Amino acid sequence: MGDRPPSFRELLASAIERRADLLRRGRTQAFRAFSGGPEGLDGVLVDVYGPFATLITHEGTAPARFDAKAEAPAVLETLATLGVRAVYHKPFAKDRSRMGGEMPEGVTDPAPAAGEPQPEAVVIREHGWSLEVRPYDGLSTGLFLDQRENRAWVASWVRGRVAEGRAAPAVLNTFAYTCAFSVAAATAGAVTTSVDVSPRYLEWGRRNFAHNGLDASTHRFAKMDTFEFIGYAKRKGLRYDLVILDPPSFAAGSRRKGIAPWSSVDDYARLVKEAATLLNPKGVIFASTNTRELCRPGRLEREVREGLGREPRLLRLPPPPPDFGAERGRFASIAFS
């Protein structure tokens, strides 16, 4: 290549080579194929979900010269050997608040930036379960790929409890989104409760249960704010063996519905404190965040100590997925009792 900087196609091809072991193991159809700056191009990400990929660009970070529509065919050609048949572009605005809740142009268009239009919903495999993702449902697909190994840890933890001959572990999944953590727990033998304010995402979660042959009627889906549910659980005397905390960085709240605004930086310690009141003896909390300030070394642990009022007993979590290894510092997780 001489002095010529590598093209995006070349950078992506190199990134795929670095994921050879992940692809060879075949444990997932969904992974991050390109991680932006650490792999040679700031503000540009590529995620693969079985038959389709998303080309993600971040305004103000991605180079102004980067033309996603022009690059999409090269992405498709590079990923075609992996079975990818379409590439959808997801442009993230620098300040989404100025968009007034409107979606960027094209993110709900069934026609991809390159390749064949995909179904509205696609079911991919991850470890031992099936999960529904949506290529043109907006900016998100319904699955956070960086939590893949943590979902596997939850399943392993549940299997360990079941192997001890105890009753089916009770797992509470707060901020449940499309309930992927709940699926991982339920397929391993847990009785789950999934809490989210969005009925649409809880219905998505029910479909995820159906995709795995799970009877959703034997599990609970609660359309409530997490703190509202915790208050309800206290009043009803509900207790859990594992509580999953994976909140968003911010949530606006609703005065009409009595839901307070949420900020991970301001409210995480309180969340831990309240969640701990619902634990059975020897119960465990899994806490995670992608809030940049809380991802600094030791900061999430500090929030946990403040919430518990004591030093936690830490459990070992798996390292970040290999396809996210270049993005350390972008997310943090801790499990403790």
Statement to judge: residues 97 and 150 lie in one domain: no
**pLDDT value of residue 251:** 79
CB 75 within 8 A of CB 110: no
Statement to judge: residues 41 and 176 lie in one domain: no
Residue 122 domain flag: no
**pLDDT value of residue 182:** 98
Residue 128 domain flag: no
**pLDDT value of residue 261:** 79
**pLDDT value of residue 147:** 97
Query: CA 253: distance to chain centroid?
Result: 21
Whole-structure pTM value: 0.94
Residue 275 domain flag: yes
| Domains of the chain: total | 2
CATH number of the domain within which 63 lies: 3.30.750.80
Statement to judge: residues 96 and 162 lie in one domain: no
pLDDT band at residue 330 using 50, 70 and 90 as cut-offs: confident
Statement to judge: residues 191 and 109 lie in one domain: no
Residue 28 domain flag: yes
CB 83 within 8 A of CB 114: no
Statement to judge: residues 215 and 300 lie in one domain: yes
Q: Which of 23-27, 146-150, 283-287 has the lowest mean pLDDT?
A: 23-27
Residue 252 domain flag: yes
CATH number of the domain within which 262 lies: 3.40.50.150
Domain that holds residue 254: 145-336
Residue 189 domain flag: yes
Statement to judge: residues 220 and 103 lie in one domain: no
Q: Is the pLDDT of residue 270 over 90?
A: yes
**pLDDT value of residue 104:** 82
Statement to judge: residues 155 and 198 lie in one domain: yes
**pLDDT value of residue 9:** 96
Q: Which of the listed residues 100, 117, 134 is the one where a domain comes to its end?
A: 117
- The whole-angstrom separation of Cα 15 and Cα 93 is 25
- pLDDT tens digits, residue range 309-326? 999 999 999 998 999 988
Statement to judge: residues 153 and 297 lie in one domain: yes
- pLDDT tens digits, residue range 216-269? 999 999 999 999 999 999 999 999 999 999 999 987 766 666 667 778 999 999
Average pLDDT, the chain: 93
Tell me the CA end-to-end span of the chain in Å, nearest whole number: 53
Q: Which two tokens stand for residue 81?
A: 């050997």
Q: Map residue 225 onto helix, strand or coil.
A: coil
Query: Looking at residues 3-30, what average pLDDT do you find?
Result: 93
Statement to judge: residues 246 and 287 lie in one domain: yes
